[in-house]
Amino acid sequence: MSKRFSDILFQLIHSLEKSEKRHFKLYIKRSSANEDLKIIQLFDALDKLKEYDEKLLLKKLPGIEKPQLSNLKAHLYRQLLASLRLLKSTDSIDLQLNEQFDYAHILYKKGLFLQSLRILERAKEIAKAHQKFNFLLQTIALEKRIETLHITRSMQDRAERLSGEALEVIGKVEMVARLSNLALQLYSWYIKHGHARNERDETGVKGFMKENLPANAWEQTGFYERLYLYQSYCWYAFIRQDFLMYYRYTQKWVDLFDEQPLMVRVETGHYIKGLHSLLNAHFDLRNFRRFEITLRQFEDLAETERVQQHDNFRIQAYIYIVSAKINQHFITGTFKEGLTLVPDILEKMEEFDLFIDEHRIMVLNYKIATLYFGSENYSTCIDFLHKIINDHVDLRYDLQCYARLLHLLAHYELNNFEIIESLTRSVYRFMAKMENLTVIEEEMFAFLRNSFRISRHKLKPELVGFLHRIKQYEKSRFETRAFAYLDVISWVESKVHDKPMSEIIHQKYLKSKRKDFGRKKYTKIKNAI
């Protein structure tokens, strides 16, 4: 189902589960008005359409004229939302609190002030337990209105207590707003640009962080203040490619939920995102053992009722887990085994088309393309890269650059020399325009240009020299971006040693595991002594 069919009612109906459709029918049939019977006909017709087509829709609804359709659709949309609100209210603290506030407001309008205040007091206790400070603000506002306009005698010194409570909540809301704004703006910078490309980018990000981080941010003890503070430092570190710092703050992010388990249910989306970020940190640092432990933890969470019964959480968890599994194959060099994931991913991408953002689709297409590249299926790799290159999305300039670079290398592997020279110039111009050229890319383009002018049997010394030049940048922070998107060193080593790239990476993985095992064994003996 394509996102280009943007009729909001059509999208809403096709997002419904069977249980939600059944509930809507029961909900709406309580009323026997003719208009309600017509919206059921409209609902059924839209549910059966595979693509939104208004002409075809009107043919399926002989009793409805075109001028009526707009009003009927608006009425159906409102009724669907009302039905979903009723069905989902027990699943959401926010909906429950808003429902209690509505009841309190109704009682206030009826003149039953004490009843209204009792409901507000109970709602406030729930809101405090779940740290819903924005809700507390509107609750206190209604309490103050009641106390200002009516003498309730409900509590001595109530005015002073409400005033103090309001000031405290306003302070918390302001701090949460400032920190959440900072986290969002840093994340937005990354989504648009990717990692810092040079010293200028890094200086800009450092300056932005310094200007916008509240002076007393580290003194905060509330859940949301700490959550957004840790998120801010996560994106700050990730943009700057300080992966050790990134790991520390993703771990703090996840640990925050372990400290306050109640918040896992309240902020499930943030917990899922935290586990995803922690997996990425383990991947970047090649923490193989911790990666596997966190992935199992994530998979266990994905099977819980809380995630499975919530469309957004279920889809979000699926996307992040398959991304992690692909990364696991990148770590181990098992590219061909990783291809077994692709059919299910493509099926789910089609199924979740309305719900997956363009950035996530780009990332998945790049990861799948890299699996095919590592499996030496360069033609299919190119097919997936075209989905990024030909999609003019104003996102992730870095990913668009590396998609073009990987596309160039795939053609190089296919010996398509008749187009490589012009393709090299085109990719170089694109990356230069996006200010995305690092020393590694400059070396790569120099090697590719030089390879056109030498015979194949003289190529190996050139490859050895190329490998020697780029290996010295393996630990350089601004150059690690190239290695994060494509393991260039392993690709060149595969050419030098006449081995598949997958074998080179797998040997490194085994060697690293042996070192890790040796360190753990030494630590255990040392502790015993």
For 213-246, the pLDDT digits (tens) are 999 999 999 999 999 999 999 999 999 989 999 9
Residues in the chain: 529
Q: What is the 3-state secondary structure (H, E, C) of 48-71?
A: HCCCCCHHHHHHCCCCCCHHHHHH
pLDDT given for residue 527 in this prediction: 43
Q: How confident is the model at residue 525 (pLDDT cuts 50, 70, 90)?
A: very low
* Residue type present at position 47: D
pLDDT given for residue 524 in this prediction: 45
Beta-carbon contacts of 185 under 8 Å, excluding residues fewer than 6 positions away, are 208, 212
pLDDT given for residue 290 in this prediction: 94
Alpha-carbon Rg for the chain in angstroms: 28
- DSSP 3-state of 526: helix
Whether the pLDDT of residue 356 is over 50: the answer is: yes
Q: What percent of the chain is predicted at pLDDT more than 70?
A: 91
Of residues 415, 413, 410, the one with CA closest to residue 427:
410
DSSP category for residue 394: S
pLDDT per position as a tens digit, 95-118: 899 999 999 999 988 888 889 999
Q: What is the mean pLDDT of residues 445-452?
A: 84
Of residues 386, 388, 409, 406, the one with CA closest to residue 397:
388
pLDDT per position as a tens digit, 359-391: 889 999 999 999 999 999 999 999 999 999 987
Residue found under tokens 């490309």? 197
pLDDT given for residue 34 in this prediction: 54
Distances (CA, A) of 392 to 358, 362, 386, 406: 11, 11, 11, 18
What span, in angstroms and rounded, lies between the C-alpha atoms of 479 and 442?
11
Distances (CA, A) of 55 to 13, 41, 58, 69, 138: 18, 16, 5, 11, 46
Q: Mark out the alpha helices in 286-340 (DSSP H runs).
A: 288-302, 305-308, 311-332, 335-338
pLDDT given for residue 1 in this prediction: 40
pLDDT given for residue 6 in this prediction: 66
pLDDT per position as a tens digit, 272-324: 999 999 999 999 888 989 999 999 999 999 999 999 988 889 999 999 999 99
Q: How confident is the model at residue 32 (pLDDT cuts 50, 70, 90)?
A: low
Of residues 68, 88, 73, 72, the one with CA closest to residue 27:
88
pLDDT given for residue 502 in this prediction: 95
Of residues 204, 249, 243, 247, the one with CA closest to residue 226:
249
Whether the pLDDT of residue 59 is over 90: the answer is: no
* Residue type present at position 245: M
Phi (first) and psi of residue 328, to 5 degrees = -60, -40
* Residue type present at position 363: V
Name the burial class of residue 329, with classes exposed (0-12), middle (13-18) and buried (19+) by CB atoms within 10 angstroms of its CB: buried
